[in-house]
Structures are given as structure tokens and as C-alpha cells.
Amino acid sequence: MKIAVEVKISNNGFVFNSKTGDSFNLNPFGLELINTIREGKDLDIIKMEMLERYDVDELTFERDFYEFCALLKHHQILEQGNPLDFN
């Protein structure tokens, strides 16, 4: 997964997509997740880091992560590729 080149993300979680003109505000956890995606980490690494850092079980994390990624794809924040690719 990669963040689309048209997308700019500020340090306080403001996201702007110059391609669509859409803007969003992320909560701190969403900002942390999108930064890990931006760093090019794959799902296994992201999951391992989040499970160590937060009190969440693996199934709940995966469900929330896939839902978050689906929203990012819907709003063209993530580059579009295989819709089932979360790596």
C-alpha cells in the first residue's frame, strides 16, 4: 500500500487530496496508522507494532485496520491497485 502522491498529510492529522479536493482530519491513532503506511511498512509489521503498543486483540486490530484502509481507498488516499491488497 502506498499513499497517493497527490495526498498531503500534516503533523497534526490534516489530510488534503489535491486530486479530489477532499480534506479530512485524522484522530491520533489514525495519524499513527497512516504514518506507518507512509513509511512503507507491511500489514504484519504494522500489526505487530500496534499489538505491542495498545491493548487490543489481533482480530479487532485487523478488522479496524481493514476498515480504515477501505475508507482510505474509497477517498483515494491510497493508491488504487488490487482492492484486496493490504500490504
In the 8-state DSSP scheme, what is residue 49?
H
- Could you tell me if residue 52 is inside a domain? yes
- Could you tell me if residue 2 is inside a domain? no
> Would you give the distance in Å from CA 35 to the centre of its chain?
7
Q: How many Å apart are CA 39 and CA 55, to the nearest integer?
A: 23
Label residue 87 by pLDDT band (50, 70, 90): low
Q: 69: exposed, middle or buried (C-beta count within 10 Å: 0-12, 13-18, 19+)?
A: buried
- Could you tell me if residue 87 is inside a domain? no
Mean pLDDT, to the nearest integer, of 44-73?
94
- Could you tell me if residue 82 is inside a domain? no
- Could you tell me if residue 17 is inside a domain? yes
Q: Which cell goes with 63?
A: 478488522
Domain range spanning residue 55?
Answer: 7-75
Q: What's the pLDDT tens digit per position in 3-52?
A: 999 999 999 999 999 999 999 999 999 999 999 999 999 889 999 999 99
Check if the beta carbon of residue 30 is closer than 8 Å to that of residue 22.
Answer: no
| Residue with cell string 476498515 | 67
